Amino acid sequence: MSVRVGKTDRAAAFPVAAKTALKNDQLRANVRRATDTIRGKRALRVEEMPDWQQLRDTASAIKAHTLRHLDEYLVEFEKNCELAGGKVHWARDADEANAIAIGLIRQYSEGNSHVEVIKVKTMTSDEVQMNVALEAAGITPIETDLADMIVQMGHDEPSHIVVPALHRNRFEVRDLFRETMHRPELTAEPEDLTGAARAYLRERFLKVKIGVSGANFAIAETGGVCVVESEGNGRMCLTMPDVLISLIGVEKVIPRFEDLEVFLQLLPRSATGERMNPYNSLWCGVHAGDGPKAFHVILLDNGRTKLLHDEMERETLECIRCGACLNACPVYRETGGHAYGSIYSGPIGAILSPQLQSLEHSRSLPYASTLCGACYEVCPVKINIPEILIHLRGRVVREDQATLGGKLAVENLAMQGAAAAFQSQRRYEAAQRLAQAGQMLFRKGDQLENLPGMAGGWTKYRDLKAIPKQSFRDWWKSRSKGASA
């Protein structure tokens, strides 16, 4: 099985990628402005909900329950989906998912040399890099979500799981449209830009016969699928084509239709600060004279089921991809999504990507957080992201310590030394005195400069007061002595 999460396998470590992002002032300004706006709207919409905390608890309980019985609910979904005329396929990993999708597209477009498919915004298809696979198979995927379309036209990567083009401003979009749509007269006015996108997309909605979607929820009880969106392009892709292929991560299943009530309140408020999504599409199987004539679901594992065994890791799968943690995260705020090297960025990406894919390619992500807890505070399903980050850090350290290089690494040696010192008053006090004496090499006045090793990361950018001659315990000892004398 080859698990893939977008570009993680060829991504640079977070601190390196972050450095590049930090140099891009335009990108940072765009990200800050956008996240501030969404955060503000979210806060307003959450405040007006008297039962918000109960909703969070309920959502978390539904998700936790579903994940404990995931096998049963998936089988139930498959049965009900097929009873309604759909067809369910199971994909272990990215390659299988893409192969199934390509097989289906070829099957339904027999004889056509040039095949196009229209796509609804789907993170899962980005996760398996479906567009790359489709293009390699001679199929042209057309993204119809405005932000995804901007990303696709710019040969760019999404930088936010809900607002993929959040790092671009309207002037950049105007330039892109002028070039791609051959419309040099376009201005950067929002009306002008949306009008251009609308005309461009309408032509494709009417012409293309195959649609590809993801899903926000798959309902076991009915075998139905749900997508929520703001633009209506999703609804076009879900109703206009003859064939609909929905790629769905196995964790998206919920038991009952009734459960939607909880999530449809939490998701839009958390994601975009809206009371309700402008478009909530639900579809179930096929119906004569209405909607697609063929409906296929690809249920994707891609590393998910292996997280079911560990209680803390399993919690990650409760995510409903609202992106609230990204908007709340002060680290994401500075770097944007590209620095995370994964299709899933921000705090959720920092825990999801390393777990789906082996830690090897994303060892730095669990450390891309100050553990400030802002993500946990806003998560609508109460995923304790800081706790999971710490758990993953533990895995990174244990894996490192299992190798000789890791054992001898400066950080490990320092941590072992500190742990040993902290285990004895004598050694701890000796270490304090050693630090007080050793700092003379780096002391300039009452400040320390150019500290070596990891501490150099501090003094390069920030000042640091020298270690005082008298520790607190020294003060305490001298005081007790004075008192008893």
Partner 1 sequence: MRISLFVACYNDTLFPETGVAVTRVLERLGHTVEFPLAQTCCGQMHYNTGYHREAVPLVRRFVEMFRDAEVVCVPSASCVAMMREHYLMMAEAENDSAFLADVKSLLPRVFEFSELLANRLQTEDVGATFAHSVTYHPSCHSLRMLHVGDAPVRLLRQVRGLTLLELPKKEQCCGFGGTFAVKNADVSVAMLAEKQGCVVETGAEVVTALDNSCLMQIYGGLHRAGSAVRTMHIAEILASEGAAL
Of 62-70, 252-260, 314-322, 391-399: span binding partner 1 (CB under 8 A)? 391-399
| From 10, 155, 182, 465, residue interacting with partner 1 (rule: CB under 8 A) | 465
| From 117, 376, 381, 383, residue interacting with partner 1 (rule: CB under 8 A) | 376
Q: Is 384 left (phi over 0), alpha (psi -120 to 50) or beta?
A: beta
| From 68, 69, 207, 460, residue interacting with partner 1 (rule: CB under 8 A) | 460
Contact status: 370 vs partner 1 (CB under 8 A): yes
Contact status: 340 vs partner 1 (CB under 8 A): no
Interactions with partner 1, residue window 93-112 (CB under 8 A): none
| From 462, 482, 483, 484, residue interacting with partner 1 (rule: CB under 8 A) | 462
| From 374, 379, 381, 388, residue interacting with partner 1 (rule: CB under 8 A) | 374
For every residue of the chain, which 3-state class applies, written as one string?
CCCCCCCHHHCCCHHHHHHHHHCCHHHHHHHHHHHHHHHHHHHHHHHCCCCHHHHHHHHHHHHHHHHHCHHHHHHHHHHHHHHCCCEEEEECCHHHHHHHHHHHHHHHCCCCCCEEEEECCCHHHHHCCHHHHHHHCCEEEEECCHHHHHHHHCCCCCCCCCCCCCCCCHHHHHHHHHHHCCCCCCCCCHHHHHHHHHHHHHHHHHHCCEEEECCCEEECCCCEEEEEECCCHHHHHHHCCCEEEEEEEHHHEECCHHHHHHHHHHHHHHHHCCCCCCEEEEECCCECCECCCEEEEEEECCCCHHHHHCHHHHHHHHCCCCCHHHHHCHHHHHHCCHHHCCCCCHHHHHHHHHHHCCHHHCCCHHHCCCCCCHHHHHCCCCCCHHHHHHHHHHHHHHHHHCCHHHHHCHHHHHHHHHHHHHCCHHHHHHHHHHHHHHHHHHEECCEECCCCHHHHHHHCCCCCECCCCCCHHHHHHHHHHHHHC
Q: How far is the CB of 55 from partner 1 (least distance, A)?
A: 20
Contact status: 447 vs partner 1 (CB under 8 A): yes
Of 53-61, 76-84, 169-177, 475-483: span binding partner 1 (CB under 8 A)? 475-483
Compute the distance between CA of residue 342 and CA of residue 348 in angstroms, rounded to an integer: 11
- Closer Cβ to partner 1, 195 or 468, answer by number: 468
- Closer Cβ to partner 1, 94 or 328, answer by number: 328
Q: How far is the CB of 186 from partner 1 (least distance, A)?
A: 34
Interactions with partner 1, residue window 394-433 (CB under 8 A): 394-398, 411, 415-416, 418-419, 421-423, 425, 428, 432
Compute the distance between CA of residue 104 and CA of residue 258 in angstroms, rounded to an integer: 32
For residue 17, count other CB atoms closer than 10 A to its CB. 18
Q: How far is the CB of 50 from partner 1 (least distance, A)?
A: 20
- Closer Cβ to partner 1, 207 or 460, answer by number: 460
Interactions with partner 1, residue window 20-79 (CB under 8 A): 22
Residue type, 2: S
Q: How far is the CB of 411 from partner 1 (least distance, A)?
A: 8
Q: How far is the CB of 19 from partner 1 (least distance, A)?
A: 5
Query: How many residues in the shown chain lie near partner 1 by CB under 8 A?
Result: 64
Q: How far is the CB of 383 from partner 1 (least distance, A)?
A: 14
Q: Which residues pair with 432 in a beta bridge?
A: none
Contact status: 390 vs partner 1 (CB under 8 A): yes
Contact status: 477 vs partner 1 (CB under 8 A): yes
Of 10-18, 71-79, 181-189, 192-200: span binding partner 1 (CB under 8 A)? 10-18
Q: How far is the CB of 349 from partner 1 (least distance, A)?
A: 15
Compute the distance between CA of residue 321 and CA of residue 161 in angstroms, rounded to an integer: 7
Of 146-154, 244-252, 319-327, 473-481: span binding partner 1 (CB under 8 A)? 473-481
Q: How far is the CB of 478 from partner 1 (least distance, A)?
A: 11
Of 67-75, 276-284, 351-359, 474-482: span binding partner 1 (CB under 8 A)? 474-482
Site residues (CB under 8 A) for partner 1?
Answer: 14-15, 18-19, 22, 330-331, 333-335, 366-374, 376-377, 387, 390, 392-398, 411, 415-416, 418-419, 421-423, 425, 428, 432, 435, 447, 454-458, 460-465, 467-468, 470-477
